[in-house]
């Protein structure tokens, strides 16, 4: 950009939120610039998140299947060896292909790509510290902040991304650890824990809450998932908190205690008695510790304070329903503001925010954003959990169908899991769909569409689904919600 050149729209951050907004704005004929500091487009998701983790999940699943699940399928294999370096190369090929693809899309849609770190000089001007040296600045009639998020650190443990890692280090380990401790049994902990467990590590997941999967996973599905992952070799310590970590020796020592007992510490005599019975201090040894206790908005160095933008107690930039900050021409989307930290949520917001600029209206249905955990089997859901529906006081029906009764799952010898529907008992409108099972991540698209269209379980049940497909389990769960399944 030339000095203080004015654009219709300046976007800070070239992650999913930023790059999608840039392309959408370019398509609408706006003069648009996107500032990104990491030297590659696609943000966390493409560079160190969704894409590399899914590459490792897919290939580690293949490796694990070949090691443990071929004989009964009539396939005899010889020596199976892991070539971790090559597995990492395959991951890098997927990542670089996709990030370069976005550069191409920028050119195609006349988006100016500025490589550098942006900071607010004033309400309309972003100063850029260029990666290749030097500085520039760019003025925007409109500005979108899309600076994303970063891993929440664990107090007392220094992240070196080699032995004490966040997901960024966990997707790039040079060798398979013997023992890995995962702090946090949310999505990152379970996905990355699965990868290294399949490749041979002894993985122990320590989770503060009484269930795995992070906030949002239905309790019944979470329990089922935990059993399946345990069968695969992962160990879990629930209701347990890590109190400290010591990484000064050859192995890292992680001290844990029962979450309930810990809370009651020194409160009263009865609490002390309870503590004596409940508290179980113990220590876990690890070669690698993965810190996966959530992510927090990233706005460091952006200079939001220079222009008086507000953040809430969790560091999220405060916006209204049209993504506007207190300066209406500055909008915020993606991980650095409210809502689930998901790539497809960021993408929807990007389109809506640009539509607010170009057409004065935009729309995201936050009740119909699917979640997928890419373990094997996958876990996927959309809408409310059973606990949420119960708490809301609405009368509801539950229908479920096991993959063990589905013909395709049986032919695939891959029958663990269920599809579960929750529908309003009076209107039959679908309130939530929860799946653990093969291909759940693809199947939830149908559930999301059903929710978006306000479908009843009977609407889904009366829709023809091809035979033999896993999707028939979806249809039969819908049948079981308002009437009865045929095959179970
Ligand atoms: P980001 O992707 O974080 O992008 C923000 C960008 O802004 C970054 O590239 C950063 O360098 C840049 N930036 C920041 N400050 C500045 C500045 N001042 N100047 C210039 N540039 C700046 N989500 C899913 O939906 N599915 C998944 O399977 C999935 N898997 C994940 C796996 C892992 C291991 C992780 C960590 C996350 C995963 N996520 C997944 C979450 C997903 O990555 C995020 O929700 C998504 O990346 C958010 O997009 P964003 O554009 O808001 O932020
Ligand atoms: P998360 O919020 O999903 O899970 C964090 C877990 O850590 C929670 O279960 C929490 O109870 C637990 N925890 C917190 N403090 C703890 C402590 N001191 N000791 C033990 N446990 C503790 O966060 P995450 O797994 O780090 O993922 C971060 C974000 O990235 C999420 O918003 C997630 O949606 C996104 N992500 C999505 C995908 C996907 O869509 N497939 C994959 C990876 C990451």
* Helices and strands counted in the chain (H then E): 15, 21
The count of residues in the chain is 488
Q: Is the CB of 352 under 6 A from ligand 1?
A: no
Please, are residues 371 and 341 in contact by the beta-carbon 8 Å criterion?
Answer: no
CA–CA distance, 320 with 248 (Å, rounded to integer): 47
Distances in Å between the Cα of 359 and the Cα atoms of 31, 144, 363, 446 are: 16, 16, 12, 29
Please, are residues 130 and 138 in contact by the beta-carbon 8 Å criterion?
Answer: no
For residues 94-116, b (16+ Cβ closer than 10 Å) or e, as one string? bbeebbeebbebbeebebbbbbb
Non-local (6+) Cβ contacts of 454 within 8 A are 429
> How far, in Å, from the CA of 49 to the mean position of ligand 1?
7
> How far, in Å, from the CA of 183 to the mean position of ligand 2?
9
Closest residue by CA, ligand 1 atom 14: 147
Q: Is the CB of 12 under 6 A from ligand 2?
A: no
For residue 88, give both structure tokens.
Answer: 């990492």
CA–CA distance, 383 with 277 (Å, rounded to integer): 39
> How far, in Å, from the CA of 378 to the mean position of ligand 2?
16
Predicted confidence at residue 214, as pLDDT, reads 87
Q: Is the CB of 36 under 6 A from ligand 1?
A: yes
Q: Is the CB of 344 under 6 A from ligand 1?
A: yes
Bridge partners of 60, per DSSP, are: none
Q: Whose structure tokens read 């069968």?
A: 231
Ligand located closest to 258 CA: 2
Predicted confidence at residue 100, as pLDDT, reads 96
The total of other beta-carbon atoms located within 10 Å of residue 175's CB is 13
Please, are residues 192 and 186 in contact by the beta-carbon 8 Å criterion?
Answer: no
Active site residues: 467
> How far, in Å, from the CA of 346 to the mean position of ligand 1?
9
Q: Which atom, in ligand 2's list, is nearest to the CA of 371?
A: 40
**What is residue 317's DSSP assignment?**
B
> How far, in Å, from the CA of 15 to the mean position of ligand 1?
5
Q: Is the CB of 184 under 6 A from ligand 1?
A: no
Please, are residues 57 and 191 in contact by the beta-carbon 8 Å criterion?
Answer: yes
For residue 349, give both structure tokens.
Answer: 């917001």
Q: Which of 47, 148, 153, 445 is the best mutation target for the ligand 1 pocket, counting ligand atoms within 8 Å of the beta carbon and taking the most?
A: 148
Q: Which of 214, 262, 338 is the best mutation target for the ligand 2 pocket, counting ligand atoms within 8 Å of the beta carbon and taking the most?
A: 214
Helix (H) or strand (E) segment spanning residue 402: strand 396-402
Task: State yes or no: ipTM above 0.90.
Answer: yes
For residue 258, give both structure tokens.
Answer: 């029962």
Residue-level pLDDT, tens digit, the chain, 488 residues: 445 679 999 999 999 999 999 999 999 999 999 999 999 999 999 999 999 999 999 999 999 999 999 999 999 999 999 999 999 999 999 999 999 999 999 999 999 999 999 999 999 999 999 999 999 999 999 999 999 999 999 998 999 999 999 999 999 999 999 999 999 999 999 999 999 999 999 999 999 999 999 879 999 999 999 999 999 999 999 999 999 999 999 999 999 999 875 543 333 444 444 444 445 568 999 999 999 999 999 999 999 999 999 999 999 999 999 999 999 999 999 999 999 999 999 999 999 999 999 999 999 999 999 999 999 999 999 999 999 999 999 999 999 999 999 999 999 999 999 999 999 999 999 999 999 999 999 999 999 999 999 999 999 999 999 999 999 999 999 999 999 999 99
Q: Which atom, in ligand 2's list, is nearest to the CA of 341?
A: 32
């Amino acid at each position: 950009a030339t000095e203080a050149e004015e654009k219709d729209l300046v976007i800070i951050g070239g992650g999913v939120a930023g790059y999608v907004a840039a392309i959408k704005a370019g398509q609408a004929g706006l003069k648009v610039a996107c500032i990104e500091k990491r030297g590659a487009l696609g943000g966390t998701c493409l560079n160190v998140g969704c894409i590399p983790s899914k590459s490792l999940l897919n290939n580690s699943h293949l490796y694990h299947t070949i090691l443990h699940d071929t004989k009964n399928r009539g396939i005899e294999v010889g020596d199976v060896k892991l070539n971790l370096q090559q597995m990492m190369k395959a991951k890098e090929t997927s990542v670089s292909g996709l990030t370069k693809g976005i550069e191409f899309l920028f050119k195609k849609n006349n988006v100016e790509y500025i490589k550098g770190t942006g900071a607010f000089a004033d309400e309309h001007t972003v100063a850029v510290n260029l990666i290749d040296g030097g500085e520039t600045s760019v003025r925007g009639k409109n500005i979108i902040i899309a600076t994303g998020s970063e891993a929440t650190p664990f107090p007392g443990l220094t992240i070196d991304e080699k032995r004490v890692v966040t997901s960024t280090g966990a997707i790039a380990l040079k060798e398979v650890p013997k023992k890995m401790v995962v702090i946090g049994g949310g999505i990152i902990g379970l996905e990355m824990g699965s990868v290294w467990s399949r490749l041979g590590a002894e993985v122990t997941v320590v989770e503060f809450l009484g269930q795995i999967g992070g906030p949002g996973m239905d309790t019944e599905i979470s329990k089922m998932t935990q059993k399946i992952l345990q069968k695969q070799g992962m160990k879990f310590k629930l209701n347990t908190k890590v109190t400290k970590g010591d990484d000064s020796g050859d192995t890292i020592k992680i001290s844990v205690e029962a979450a309930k007992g810990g809370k009651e510490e020194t409160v009263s005599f009865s609490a002390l008695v309870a503590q004596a019975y409940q508290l179980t201090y113990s220590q876990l040894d690890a070669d690698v510790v993965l810190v996966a206790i959530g992510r927090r908005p990233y706005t460091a160095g952006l200079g939001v304070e220079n222009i008086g933008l507000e953040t809430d107690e969790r560091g999220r930039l405060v916006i209204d329903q049209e993504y506007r900050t207190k300066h209406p021409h500055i909008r915020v989307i993606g991980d650095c503001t409210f809502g689930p930290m998901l790539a497809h949520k960021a993408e929807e917001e990007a389109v809506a925010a640009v539509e607010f600029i170009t057409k004065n209206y935009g729309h995201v249905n936050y009740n119909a954003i699917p979640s997928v955990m890419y373990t094997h089997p996958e876990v996927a859901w959309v809408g409310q959990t059973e606990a949420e529906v119960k708490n809301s006081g609405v009368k509801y029906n539950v229908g479920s169908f096991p993959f063990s009764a589905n013909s395709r799952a049986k032919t695939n010898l891959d029958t663990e899991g269920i599809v579960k529907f929750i529908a309003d008992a009076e209107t039959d409108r679908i309130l939530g769909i929860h799946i653990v099972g093969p291909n759940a991540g693809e199947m939830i698209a149908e559930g999301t569409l059903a929710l978006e269209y306000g479908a009843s379980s009977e609407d889904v049940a009366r829709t023809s689904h091809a035979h033999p497909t896993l999707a028939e389990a979806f249809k039969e769960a819908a049948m079981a919600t308002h009437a009865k399944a045929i095959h179970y």
